[in-house]
Amino acid sequence: MAENLEYMEDYFHQRLSDAQRKDFELRCENDKGFAEEVAFYITSRQALKEELLLQKRAQWKQASTGKSEELFFIKPFKRLSDYKWRYAAAAIIILAFGTYFFERSSSPQQLADNYIQNNFSQLSLTMDGVKDSMQTALAAFNNKEYDKASPVFESLCKDHPENNDALKDAGITYLVTKDYDKALEKFDALANKKGLFSNPGYFYKAITLLQRNKDGDKAEAKQLLEQVVSQNLEHSSDAKDWLKKF
C-alpha cells in the first residue's frame, strides 16, 4: 500500500498524464490486489472525513451548551477490514466517476496548471526547413534545459517568422519557466496569425493569464475562452468545459 500511495495521490489530484491515467485504470481492472488498495485508499479518506465531522459537531455542541461530550472514534483500519467485500465495487465506482468529480471541483487555475503538467513536459518535432535548429531547441526543452532552448526558439522566430511551431514552442518555453509576459507576447502573435489550419494561440494565452493571475487576468482569460468556443477554434471543447469553472 505504502509504495502505491503517491501514485494514487497523483491520479486523484490530476497530476498524471493521459497515458499514465489510462495505465492506472487498466491496472485497476486487471490487478485485483491493486484495485483493493485503491478502494481501501478511497474508503480510508472517507472514514477520516467522517471522524473529522464528528469532532466538529462535538465542538459546536460544547460551544452552544458549555458541556463537553465524550467522543467515540471508529478506527478506520478496523472498520474497513469489515468491509473488504466493497473494495472491487468502490474501485469501479471511483474510476467511472472519480475523474469527473475531481475536475468539477477544480478551479480554472488548477485546470491550467494540470494542462501544463500533462501536455508541456515534452515537445514533439514538426519537420520543416529548419529541422536541425528545431531539433536542437526541442532536445534542450525535453531535457529541461530551458535556458538553452529559449534563445534558439527566439532566433528561429526572428529569422523564420513563417515558422509557427517555433513561435508556439517559444511561448510554451516561457510559460513553463513562468516568464508569463514573454509567453503572452508569443501566444498573442500566434493567435493573430491568419489562415492557419490549427491555431492554439488564444487557448494558450488564456492558460498563461490564469497562471499569471494578476488583477484582471482571470476575466481576460474567460473572454479568450469564450472566443475559442464561439469561433470553434482549437481546444474549443476544453474551453467549453473550463468555462463552467468560472
The full set of domains in the chain, from first to last, is 2-105 (no CATH), 116-243 (1.25.40.10)
The predicted model scores a pTM of: 0.59
Give long-range contacts, CB 8 A cutoff, 24+ apart: 165-172.
165/126, 165/128, 165/134, 166/130, 166/134, 166/137, 167/193, 168/200, 168/201, 168/204, 169/123, 169/137, 169/138, 169/141, 171/204, 171/208, 172/120, 172/123, 172/141, 172/204
H or E stretch at 181: helix 180-191
- Rounded CA-CA distance 189/166 in Å is 12
Res 178 pLDDT > 60: yes
What pLDDT sits at residue 71?
45
What pLDDT sits at residue 236?
94
* Confidence label for 72 from pLDDT (cuts 50, 70 and 90): very low
Position with higher pLDDT, 225 vs 47: 225
What pLDDT sits at residue 196?
86
- Rounded CA-CA distance 114/210 in Å is 12
What pLDDT sits at residue 55?
64
Rounded to the nearest 5 degrees, what angle is found at the Cα of 128, between the Cα atoms of 182 and 181? 5
What pLDDT sits at residue 193?
94
Res 77 pLDDT > 50: no
What pLDDT sits at residue 32?
80
Which three cell numbers, joined as nine digits, stand for 140? 534542450
Only one residue has cell 486523484, namely 12
Position with higher pLDDT, 174 vs 62: 174
Res 226 pLDDT > 70: yes
What pLDDT sits at residue 18?
73
* Confidence label for 83 from pLDDT (cuts 50, 70 and 90): very low
- Rounded CA-CA distance 64/217 in Å is 44
What pLDDT sits at residue 80?
42
Res 81 pLDDT > 70: no
- Rounded CA-CA distance 69/196 in Å is 68
Say which DSSP state 63 is in: H
Position with higher pLDDT, 62 vs 92: 62
Mean pLDDT value across residues 4-9: 81
What pLDDT sits at residue 20?
85
Mean pLDDT of the chain: 80
Least confident of 59-63, 110-114, 182-186: 59-63
- Residue 167 to residues 47, 73, 152: CA-CA distances in angstroms? 50, 58, 11
Least confident of 43-47, 161-165, 216-220, 226-230: 43-47
What pLDDT sits at residue 100?
47
Mean pLDDT value across residues 30-42: 80
| b/e map 44-63, b = 16+ CB within 10 Å | eeebeeeeeeeeeeeeeeee
Query: Whole-angstrom distance between the N-terminal and C-terminal Cα of the chain?
Result: 37
